[in-house]
Amino acid sequence: MIKVNHLKKNTAVIIVDMQSFFLDNFTPKNRKLLIMNQIKTIKLCVKNKLPFFILEYRCRGIFRGELIQKLDKMIKNTQKEIIIKESNSGFTNTNLDLILNNLKIKQILIMGINANGCVQDTAIGAIRRGYRVITASGIIASSSRKDLELSVKNLKWYKKNTTFCEKV
């Protein structure tokens, strides 16, 4: 479970690819569950005044999905940056690392879709740059599967390389 003690002052929230195109691959029930878990986590982050970084994949159009619309309302008084990426990692050919360094961020809480692609590649990029990465099973999902479960291979990677919480 993600707890307040995970969310120190030097933490930023990164939301990866929560665009309509990717959400359309989920059943309505699973989409609702994923977004509900993310909103629960976002509320905790807003309470702790953490900055938010919304990564959107340019190749799929810039759509303000259901979560992003709700997020806009929830974080009016919190720093929010939208970063358009053209590859899986949010660090490749973007200014994400520069902004995080300027804010003296040391760890990131990552959530989003494509846990086996864009989320994982962004987490790898963060780890290679010295950031600590936190995530949980209820706030990341693979868009290639109809359910919210991570593959065994991906789950092992997250447990080995990040602070991985089983529950939100």
The domain that holds 42 is classified in CATH as 3.40.50.850
The predicted structure's pLDDT at residue 131: 97
The predicted structure's pLDDT at residue 30: 83
Question: What's the CA gap between 16 and 38, in Å, rounded?
Answer: 11
Q: Which long-range contacts (CB under 8 A, 24 or more apart) does 20-25 make?
A: 20/63, 20/64, 20/65, 20/66, 21/60, 21/61, 21/63, 22/57, 22/60, 22/65, 22/113, 22/114, 22/143, 23/65, 23/66, 23/67, 23/113, 23/143, 25/143, 25/144, 25/146
The predicted structure's pLDDT at residue 60: 57
Locate 164 and state its tokens.
């991985």
pTM summary value: 0.89
Total domains, the chain: 1
Which helix (H) or strand (E) segment holds residue 54: the answer is: strand 52-57
The predicted structure's pLDDT at residue 124: 96
Below-50 pLDDT ranges, the chain: 146-147
For residue 151, what is the DSSP state? P
Question: What's the CA gap between 17 and 154, in Å, rounded?
Answer: 18
| Sequence-ordered list of residues with C-beta below 8 angstroms from that of 152, at least 6 positions apart, any chain | none
The predicted structure's pLDDT at residue 152: 64
The predicted structure's pLDDT at residue 7: 75
Are 85 and 110 a contacting pair, CB within 8 Å?
Answer: no
- Residue 163's CB is within 10 A of a number of other CB atoms, namely 15
Which helix (H) or strand (E) segment holds residue 16: the answer is: strand 11-16
What is the span of the domain harbouring residue 32?
Answer: 4-165
